[in-house]
Copies of this chain bind each other. A is one copy, B any other.
Amino acid sequence: MTMEKKNSIKLTSNEMKLPHRHHTEEEEQFIFENMPAECTIATVAEAMKQLGDPTRLRIFWLLCHTEECVVDIAAFMNMSSPAVSHHLRILKATGLVTTRREGKEVYYAAAPNPMVQKLHITIEEIAEINCCDH
């Protein structure tokens, strides 16, 4: 009698994809079925990456609360205009902020979309949790 695979009687065709067997097939299936698509991950990661810089996070927080021109943002951040401009361009390219020109000045503000709203709320909530000053 030849060797039979242990799972030869299994009717459902799904195979386990992970080398070790620490989970049931159902658990493993859940992971692979609910795993976000690559482009979804990329979008979320991109937003988080840009807010992962303390400078940009503070600018973003500011722009979630008020619209500001570059000169005022630079003063608020205590940074040079070119440096601020660089970060604003990144935030805009990521879709986190929008711009509006009025005369000589360009006003930046948080982009009015649900992702930005969620990120803003999350930042405030996490800041609350890890608050350094009381």
Q: How close is A111's CB to chain B, nearest CB, in angstroms?
A: 13
Known: A19-B72, A122-B119, A127-B44. A132 touches B39 (CB 8 A): yes
A residues 50-84 near B (Cβ < 8 Å) are 50-54, 57-58, 61-62, 65-69, 71-72, 75-76
- Indicate if the CB atoms of A132 and B17 lie closer than 8 Å: no
Measured in the bound complex, the distance between the Cα atoms of B97 and A108 in whole Å is 36
- Indicate if the CB atoms of B119 and A115 lie closer than 8 Å: no
Q: Which residues of B contact A46 (CB under 8 A)?
A: 52
**Copies of this chain, how many?**
2
Q: Which of B53, B67, B133 contacts A40 (CB 8 A)?
A: B133
Measured CB to CB, the residues of A under 8 A from B are 17-20, 22-23, 27, 30-31, 34-54, 57-58, 61-62, 65-69, 71-72, 75-76, 105, 114-115, 118-119, 122-123, 125-127, 129-133
Please, could you name 21 A-B residue pairs with CB atoms under 8 Å apart, sorted by A?
A: A22-B68, A22-B69, A22-B72, A30-B65, A31-B62, A35-B62, A36-B58, A36-B61, A41-B54, A41-B61, A43-B126, A44-B57, A45-B51, A45-B53, A46-B52, A47-B126, A48-B49, A49-B52, A114-B129, A115-B126, A118-B126
